[in-house]
A and B are shown apart, each in its own frame.
Chain A
Amino acid sequence: MTAVRMKGITKNFGDFRALNNVDLEVQKAGIVALLGENGAGKSTLMNILYGLFPADSGEIFINEQKVNIKSPAHSIAHGIGMVHQHFMLVGKLTVAQNIILGAEKTRLGFFDKKKINAEILEISEKYGLFIEPDKKTDEISVGMQQRVEILKVLYRGADILIFDEPTAVLTPQEITELMSILRNLANAGKSIILITHKLKEIKQVAEICTVIRRGNYIGSVNVADVSEKQLASMMVGREVILNVEKQPPSPHEVALEIKNLFAEDENSVVKLNSLNLQLRKGEIYGIAGVDGNGQKELVEAITSLLKVKSGSIKMNGKEIQNTSPANVIKNKVSTIHEDRHRRGLILDFSVENNAIIGRQGEFSERGILQFEKINAYASELIEAFDVRPRGCEKQPIKSLSGGNQQKFIIAREVFNDPDLLIAVQPTRGVDIGAIEFIHKALVAERDKGKAILLISLDLDEILALSDTIGVIYEGKIVEELENINVDENRLGLLMAGASV
């Protein structure tokens, strides 16, 4: 039996055709991956199924009955539930309260806490979704927050679950856990649509993969019959090189030297604990680790956003700790921050203005901005890093897609001509085409003699790019490995704090 059948869905936004005659079919108890680049129309298709807006044409069948979904409430009534990429939880409420929020069952107007907890625990045990019902949601891990989101949907009796890029915010361990949860759900008869552009996950968990590209239906394939590479070229529409090609490194003098670094966060929790690190020009140093082991603080300490308690950070032999972001930049350090919306860009500014933030003085004469010079410089960045659409210099940067925003940031930081380029999660939330481009660019910068510090939660990325891998655990580099025939198993254990 098919649980969901969407047939010939077309949707226009003004002159823009977001979806053109797209089909999607999900069998009962099946897992279908919906694959496409950013902006391909995945979310539009799911929003139509979820009732956020109607399709212009096409039909939807739920359990082989034709339906007309007018609103999210309507779709919930049909047993459809959506687990959003950005969690929608009230931090001050407990796990149990969040789950029942909006669907409270009460007795004489009071919560029946015992009964509610029992119900929740029953569902959570059935599907292997471990939670602690009485904990506040802002005190639990991201992985558990996601399980709460899944439970919210299950509590409302959903049989068809849509997961919108569920692994974007998870650590490698949590991803593995989620994959087994998805299998459990399917085994228990739930039908699952997984929106993603991570090929590895599709291979791991999905049976069918439906690919859309620029709003067009490309096809549905049996995941077992195709390779990751074939999926990638279906998605992008051309051959994609998944492996980064690079020559062995030729390191020169030391660029960054960190000695015995101690730092605490704002709650006086020790985050960097006697951290030592040495990075040479012409080398990519990858930091592998589970999220929250001091990666964020390390970047903040180097860029002088976080005060260090003791120890030294030397750049080209000069101490730069506890100065200012401006001074760090002056010492030829450029940073691609993981949070591009908060730290990387001014979203309300135009693309060209974003090209010169912090360097506005260099682009003025006697205090007056030289707009032609700024425009020409922005065009250079756009050209060099293939930022699309071309001619976007005057547009607000928020109108660009995530991948293009990221390429633009990298272009800007590379054009600063730094000696040290810090790349934090440089490909988070960008599509395969852009990932390929960004990886190539980082290697090219290394070959030009730059030192590159790569911090990523994506172990594949660390392994693909690094010359040296440093494993960070509880604020300390616990082991340094040369990236030749690294044993991934051992690496995983080191990241988890085991001494091997």
Chain B
Amino acid sequence: MIRLLRKPIMGSLFAILAAIIVGGFILAAAGHNPIQVYGGLVYGALGRPRFIVNTVIMSTSLILTGLSVTFAYKTGLFNIGVEGQFIVGTIAAVFLGFFLNLPPVIHPIVVMLGAMVASGAYGALVGFLKARFNIHEVLSSIMLNWVALNLLNLYIGVERFQRLPTVAHTIQDSANIIIAHEMKRTPEGIARLRESEFLTEVILRTDFNFGIFVAIAAVIVVKFVLDKTSLGFALKAVGSNRDAAEFAGINVKKHMVLSMFFAGSLAGLAGAVHITGISPNTISMLGGFQNFGFNGIPVALLANAAVVPNIFSALLFGGMTYGSGYIQSRHGVATEIIDIMVGLIVFFVALRAVCILVADRLERRVGK
């Protein structure tokens, strides 16, 4: 029992449970029945095949941005620049998706790789500024997030890149990764999909795309790199004890830049998957951040900065976000309750140490 309390997952479960309880009080204070609303939330996220698919779509980019934050964290860096890297990834994806003419399958792969290189370089810049000029990564990242946002508006502002005055060109069909996207364009295709009730539900009525497989593949690759390769070893050594790593002859600065490159490229991949996998498959001018990148931070926090748990953490947040639409229309609950819940979870994750304290106390009382 006490050993169980010490497991990291208990801290995460504690955070979720505590957020549910406190959120329940807030709902009750607002005049709602918490049990009904929570029931509605679960139904809205998982209650129908279509809802499940949309939860998965919502979670796909969260897995990747969470992974980006986790990766940087392993090298002892806080990648708050994940938002800007995501945006740079979307710009690169739209550019490559529209201007290149490549066969299907190859085209989206090239788009994703291109976005990864662009965002990787954008992330590496933060690492370089830290290694060379000792500028804290949080400061430079926050600045570069705004730079990315304005870069996007600048891009769309160029006539050659825009379809409408505030919208960039839509990517070519060959770059699209939405499942059966060509069938969904023609009346015959739609008619054929309609023959099956199930396909109508999960393919025709959603943007179900291959992104989730890309995200899971990325999780596997990152897990492999960190656990099994000498590169991952050096990155973790720098993250766990920079002084000892330096003293043992590991080039700390080089590995900080590398780590931020990989973190940036994961955020860029999230951006590319978002563009190629969700209609309208383009970018439009932004007045402020859409938080696709930032949302990776709570995902990574809840996952305790471990690689594989990012998947579950992202599914939870993705489900909550998607399910909030249902409780708004059905129960009249403002979707802001979900932002409050996410905030509460992060708050209680920070209090995770409580579990360890309880374990310590119990141990002292019973003698292990």
Q: Give A residues with C-beta under 8 Å from B.
A: 12-15, 53, 56, 303, 305, 324-326, 328-330, 335, 337, 342-349, 353, 356-361, 363-364, 367-369
Contact = CB atoms under 8 A, between A and B. Distances in A.
Contacts of A343: 243-244, 247
Contacts of B240: 346-349
B367 interface: yes
Given A337-B247, A349-B240, A367-B229, 16 more contacts: A12-B367, A53-B364, A56-B367, A303-B247, A326-B249, A330-B249, A347-B241, A353-B233, A356-B233, A358-B250, A361-B230, A363-B230, A364-B230, A369-B228, A369-B230, A369-B233
Nearest to B248: A358
A345 B233 contact: no
Contacts of A361: 230
A330 B249 CA distance: 9
Contacts of A335: 247
A363 B230 CA distance: 8
Interface string B45-75: 0000000000000000000000000000000
B75 to A, nearest CB: 13
A353 to B, nearest CB: 7
Given A53-B364, A326-B250, A367 B241 contact: no
Given A346-B241, A364-B230, A369-B233, A325 B368 contact: no
Contacts of B248: 325, 329, 357-359
B79 to A, nearest CB: 20
B368 A305 contact: no
Interface string B214-245: 00000000000000111101101100110111
B229 A368 contact: yes
Contact of B241 (A342, A368, A369): A342
The 10 closest A-B pairs by CB, nearest first: A358-B248, A14-B368, A326-B249, A364-B230, A358-B249, A360-B230, A357-B248, A360-B233, A346-B241, A329-B249
Contacts of B279: none
B359 to A, nearest CB: 13
A367 B230 contact: yes
Chain B interface size, under 10 / 10 to 19 / 20 to 34 / 35 or more: 20 to 34
Nearest to B232: A369
A12 B367 CA distance: 7
B229 A324 contact: no
B246 interface: yes
A56 B365 CA distance: 11
B247 A344 contact: yes
10 contacts: A305-B247, A329-B249, A342-B244, A346-B245, A347-B240, A356-B233, A360-B230, A360-B233, A360-B234, A368-B229
A56 B246 CA distance: 46
Contacts of A53: 364
Interface in B298-324: none
Contacts of B250: 326, 357-358
Nearest to A300: B247
Given A361-B230, A364-B230, A369-B230, A13 B367 contact: yes
Contacts of B364: 53
Contact of A357 (B228, B237, B251, B368): B237
B228 A346 contact: no
A56 B245 CA distance: 43
A341 to B, nearest CB: 8
B368 A13 contact: yes
A358 B245 contact: yes
B241 A325 contact: no
A348 B246 CA distance: 16
B228 A368 contact: yes
A345 B240 CA distance: 10
B214 to A, nearest CB: 23
Contacts of A364: 229-230
A489 B249 CA distance: 41
A81 B367 CA distance: 26
A345 B251 contact: no
Nearest to B234: A360
A354 to B, nearest CB: 9
A53 B367 CA distance: 11
A358 B245 CA distance: 7
A305 B242 CA distance: 13
A397 to B, nearest CB: 11
Contacts of B244: 342-346, 357
Contact of B243 (A12, A342, A348, A353): A342
Nearest to A326: B249
A367 to B, nearest CB: 5
A347 B239 CA distance: 12
Nearest to A339: B243
Contacts of A329: 248-249
Contacts of A356: 233
A305 B249 contact: no
B26 to A, nearest CB: 38
Nearest to A345: B244
Nearest to A356: B233
Given A361-B230, A368-B229, A325 B247 contact: yes
Contacts of B228: 368-369
Contacts of A13: 367-368
A124 to B, nearest CB: 37
A345 B246 contact: no
A363 B249 CA distance: 15
Given A342-B243, A369-B228, A326 B251 contact: yes
Contacts of A357: 237, 244-245, 248, 250
Contacts of A363: 230
A360 B228 CA distance: 11
A13 B246 CA distance: 38
A54 to B, nearest CB: 9
A15 B368 CA distance: 8
- Kindly name the residue among B236, B247, B364, B368 whose own CB sees the greatest number of chain A CB atoms within 10 A: B247
Nearest to A53: B364
A50 to B, nearest CB: 15
Contacts of B237: 346, 349, 357, 360
B242 to A, nearest CB: 10
Interface in B316-364: 364
- Kindly name the residue among A325, A330, A345 whose own CB sees the greatest number of chain B CB atoms within 10 A: A325
Contacts of B243: 342-343
Nearest to A362: B230
A278 to B, nearest CB: 25
A324 B247 contact: no
B231 A305 contact: no
A325 B233 contact: no
Contacts of A358: 245, 248-250
A325 B248 CA distance: 7
Contacts of A345: 241, 244
Contacts of A369: 228-230, 233
A386 to B, nearest CB: 23
B309 to A, nearest CB: 18
Nearest to A12: B367
A461 B367 CA distance: 41
B306 to A, nearest CB: 13
A345 B244 CA distance: 6
A364 B228 CA distance: 9
- Kindly name the residue among B231, B233, B234, B250 whose own CB sees the greatest number of chain A CB atoms within 10 A: B233
A304 to B, nearest CB: 10
Contacts of A15: 368
Contacts of B230: 360-361, 363-364, 367-369
B304 to A, nearest CB: 14
Nearest to A16: B368
